[in-house]
C-alpha cells in the first residue's frame, strides 16, 4: 500500500552529498521499474545518473522501448509530454520539477496560434493553403493543433525533410515557435528572405499586411531560444581572428547570421557526432548550451581537441537547470515508496491528435 507523499521541504535544504546517497539508494530499490532519461543540456550532477541520454525525441522513443513502469525525464515539460504520448499505456512519465519549462515553447500558446489561424483564414484559405509545422519544442496542445489540421512536428535534425513534405501538400508553412530554425530551414531550401515573414502574435494579423501574408511562403512565429539567442557573429569573428584554422559549429536555433558564418550547423546530436568524429588536435567554437559544450570538451580532450563555448558570458538552459539532486532524490524516493509525484499526463483526445502529428514526422524522416 502506497505511503504518504514525502514532502519536498525536507530535501530543499539538503546538502548535495546527502542527496546523492539517497538517489543511489532509491534507484537500487526501484531497479528496472524506473528508467532515468537525461537531455544533453542537463546539469552534470544529475546527468551522471542517466540510463539514457540524447535529445528529446530520441529519449522518448528509447524509453517507450523499455519495460520500465516509470519514465523519469530530466529535461523540461514538453519533453515529458512527448514521453507520455509515445510510451506504452502502463508507463508513467514523471518530471522531477514541474517548474522545468522551456521559454521558447512558452512563446507560442494554443490561444495565440488559433487566433493566428483565424486571421490567416480572413486573408486566404489557410485550411487549404497553409501547413502548420510545430517544432518539437512546443506544448502537446500545439502538436495536437497540427495533427488536427493536416500538419506535422519537426526536430532540428529533420526540419528540412519536414518542410519539403509540407510544401508538397500546401503552398505555405506556418512555423512555430522558433523563428530561427524556420528561417535557416527555409534558406537552405532556397527560399528568399523576403518570402519568410515574421508573425508577431501580439499584433493584429501578426503585424503583417494582407499582401505580405499572401507573398510569404514561410510564416515564422516570433519566438526564440534564450540560450541560442546569446550567440553573435562578433563571437565568431573574434574566434576566427585568433584561430584561423579553427572550426565553428552551431545549432540552428541560433540566428541566421550566426548559422551563415558557421562551418557546420546541426542538432545537438549532430554537434556531438561531428566533433567526436573530427580529426585529432582540432579546435572548435560551439554555439549551443553550456553543459553540453563542457561535457563534450572533457570527452574529446584526450584527442587533443579543444572545444570552447561561443559566448563570453555563462549561458545555460536555466529552466532545465531547475532539476537538481534535491528534486531527483525527492522524486525517486517517492516512487520507491509507491507514491507517484509530478506525473505528466496529456489528455487522451489531445494526445491522440499530437501522436498523429508525431507519427507523420516519423514516417517522413
Which pLDDT tens digit goes with each residue over 168-178? Answer: 999 999 999 99
Last residue of a domain, one of 226, 250, 274: 226
Q: Is the pLDDT of residue 354 over 80?
A: yes
Task: Note the pLDDT of residue 2.
Answer: 46
Q: Is residue 362 part of a domain?
A: no
- The answer as to whether 351 is a domain residue is no
Global confidence as pTM? 0.92
Residue 315 has pLDDT above 80, yes or no: no
Phi and psi based region of residue 74 (left: phi greater than 0; alpha: psi -120 to 50; beta: remaining): beta
132-163 pLDDT tens trace: 999 999 999 999 999 999 999 999 999 999 99
Q: What is the Cα–Cα distance from 350 to 104, expressed in whole angstroms?
A: 21
pLDDT at residue 42, rounded to an integer = 86
Among 331, 343, 362, smallest CA distance to 61 is for 362
Q: Are residues 303 and 243 in the same domain?
A: yes
- C-alpha–C-alpha distance, residues 178 and 116, integer Å: 15
132 and 151 share a domain? yes
Q: Are residues 178 and 249 in the same domain?
A: no
Lowest model confidence (mean pLDDT) among 44-58, 81-95, 192-206, 323-337: 44-58
Q: Are residues 112 and 207 in the same domain?
A: yes
| Domain at 338, CATH number | 3.40.50.10800
- Same-domain status, 85 and 143: no
281 is a domain residue: yes
Question: Is residue 301 assigned to a domain?
Answer: yes
Q: Do 121 and 96 share a domain, yes or no?
A: no
pLDDT score for 227: 85
Averaged confidence pLDDT in the chain: 94
The three-class DSSP label of residue 242 is helix
Any idea of the CA torsion for 155, 185, 292, 176, to the nearest 10 degrees? -60
Does 195 lie in the same domain as 119?
A: yes
Which pLDDT does position 181 carry in this prediction?
97
- For residue 297, give its domain range: 228-309
| 216 plus 134 within the same structural domain | yes
pLDDT of residue 4: 67
Residue 324 and residue 299 in contact, taking contact as beta carbons nearer than 8 Å = no
Structurally, how many domains does the chain consist of? Answer: 3
Which pLDDT value is given to residue 304? Answer: 98
All three cell numbers of 138: 512546443
Amino acid at each position: 500500500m502506497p505511503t504518504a507523499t514525502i514532502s519536498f521541504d525536507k530535501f530543499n535544504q539538503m546538502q548535495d552529498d546527502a542527496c546523492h546517497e539517497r538517489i543511489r539508494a532509491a534507484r537500487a530499490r526501484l531497479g528496472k521499474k524506473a528508467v532515468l532519461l537525461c537531455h544533453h543540456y542537463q546539469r552534470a550532477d544529475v546527468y551522471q545518473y542517466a540510463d539514457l541520454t540524447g535529445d528529446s525525441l530520441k529519449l522518448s522513443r528509447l524509453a517507450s522501448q523499455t519495460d520500465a513502469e516509470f519514465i523519469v525525464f530530466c529535461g523540461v515539460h514538453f519533453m515529458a509530454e512527448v514521453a507520455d504520448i509515445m510510451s506504452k499505456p502502463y508507463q508513467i512519465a514523471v518530471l522531477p520539477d514541474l517548474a522545468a519549462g522551456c521559454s521558447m515553447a512558452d512563446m507560442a500558446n494554443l490561444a495565440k496560434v488559433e487566433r493566428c489561424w483565424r486571421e490567416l483564414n480572413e486573408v486566404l484559405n489557410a485550411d487549404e493553403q497553409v501547413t502548420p509545422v510545430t517544432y518539437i519544442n512546443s506544448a502537446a496542445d500545439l502538436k495536437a493543433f497540427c495533427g488536427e489540421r493536416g500538419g506535422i512536428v519537426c526536430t532540428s535534425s529533420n526540419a528540412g525533410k519536414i518542410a519539403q513534405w509540407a510544401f508538397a501538400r500546401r503552398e505555405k508553412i506556418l512555423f512555430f515557435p522558433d523563428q530561427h530554425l524556420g528561417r535557416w530551414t527555409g534558406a537552405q531550401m532556397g527560399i528568399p528572405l523576403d518570402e519568410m515573414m515574421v508573425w508577431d502574435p501580439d499584433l493584429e494579423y501578426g503585424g503583417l499586411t494582407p499582401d505580405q501574408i499572401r507573398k510569404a511562403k514561410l510564416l515564422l512565429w516570433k519566438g526564440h531560444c534564450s540560450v541560442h539567442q546569446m550567440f553573435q557573429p562578433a563571437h565568431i569573428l573574434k574566434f576566427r581572428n585568433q584561430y584561423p584554422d579553427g572550426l565553428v559549429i552551431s545549432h540552428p536555433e541560433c540566428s541566421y547570421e550566426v548559422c551563415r558564418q558557421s562551418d557546420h550547423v546541426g542538432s545537438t546530436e549532430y554537434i556531438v557526432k561531428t566533433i567526436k568524429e573530427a580529426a585529432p588536435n582540432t579546435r572548435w567554437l560551439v554555439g549551443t548550451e553550456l553543459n553540453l559544450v563542457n561535457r563534450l570538451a572533457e570527452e574529446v580532450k584526450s584527442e587533443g581537441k579543444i572545444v570552447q563555448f561561443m559566448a563570453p558570458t555563462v549561458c545555460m538552459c536555466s529552466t532545465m537547470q531547475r532539476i537538481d539532486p534535491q528534486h531527483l532524490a525527492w522524486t525517486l524516493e517517492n516512487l520507491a515508496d509507491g507514491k507517484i509525484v509530478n506525473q505528466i499526463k496529456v489528455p487522451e483526445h489531445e494526445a491522440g491528435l499530437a501522436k498523429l502529428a508525431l507519427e507523420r514526422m516519423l514516417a517522413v524522416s
